[in-house]
Chains A and B, each alone.
Chain A
Amino acid sequence: KNEVEQSPQNLTAQEGEFITINCSYSVGISALHWLQQHPGGGIVSLFMLSSGKKKHGRLIATINIQEKHSSLHITASHPRDSAVYICAVRFPWGGNQFYFGTGTSLTVIP
């Protein structure tokens, strides 16, 4: 069983819509990483967080430690946001590994 669950698996949105991607995990973590993988395969780091909320441009990431849940929000979505969004967590007991969700494939239609 994957210890990191993402939802939804696939998401299609109209340009301009507000998007939320969810990540939940089974036990307490030391860090959570949101990544973006474009169709060409390149992976870009979006956020690294362990508490609270971070914002960068139209992207917002939040984490609720008690509920073991993080969300990635995209405001005013654009077709160039189309990508796979990946959540990865680092558990205190997990050594140096990051455990990855299976990703959310987002398509934004003009």
Chain B
Amino acid sequence: GAGVSQSPSNKVTEKGKDVELRCDPISGHTALYWYRQRLGQGLEFLIYFQGNSAPDKSGLPSDRFSAERTGESVSTLTIQRTQQEDSAVYLCASSRPGNYEQYFGPGTRLTVT
């Protein structure tokens, strides 16, 4: 079956612009995670969705970051007024109910100029 997909694969934007990143999880996966990976660094947790429960937003670095998810399907991560330090690869992962094993998408490489 299809894996986790993300779009766009690459995004170059000017400082101050808003960007929207999309994640399509594996069908039937109720949990969805967003991570950020800066160049040469480890993964940073951003936000977690589980079914229709309130999302865990504890990893969002500032109020410029927000994310939504419609039911158990597509999620969008929005970064407003982008800054150069937002440049990173943004990764999405999903997992099945009752199972912590995560399946990762290919990521979106964001470059803020």
The answer, yes or no, to whether A66 is at the interface (CB within 8 Å) is: no
Contact with A along B13-32 (1 / 0, CB 8 A): 00000000000000000010
Instruction: Decide: A41 near B101, CB < 8 A? Known: A86-B42, A97-B59, A100-B42.
Output: no
Instruction: Decide: A90 near B100, CB < 8 A? Known: A41-B106, A96-B50, A97-B48.
Output: yes
Which B residues have a C-beta under 8 Å from some C-beta of A?
A: 31, 33, 41-45, 48, 50, 56, 58-59, 89, 91, 93, 99-104, 106-107, 109
Instruction: Decide: A97 near B56, CB < 8 A? Known: A31-B100, A45-B103, A48-B100.
Output: yes
Alpha-carbon separation in the docked complex, A45 to B48 (Å):
18
Out of A33, A41, A88, which one reaches B107, CB within 8 Å? A41
- Size range of the chain A interface in the assembly: 20 to 34
* 8 Å CB interface, A1-45 against B: 30-31, 33, 35, 41-45
Closest CB in chain B relative to A7 CB, distance in Å: 14
Chain B binding surface SS class: strand
Contact with B along A49-62 (1 / 0, CB 8 A): 00000000000000
Instruction: State whether B42 touches A41 (Cβ < 8 A).
Output: no
Q: Which residues of A contact B89 (CB under 8 A)?
A: 41
Closest CB in chain B relative to A22 CB, distance in Å: 16
Q: Which residues of A contact B44 (CB under 8 A)?
A: 100
Closest CB in chain B relative to A85 CB, distance in Å: 12
Instruction: Decide: A42 near B48, CB < 8 A? Known: A86-B42, A102-B42.
Output: no
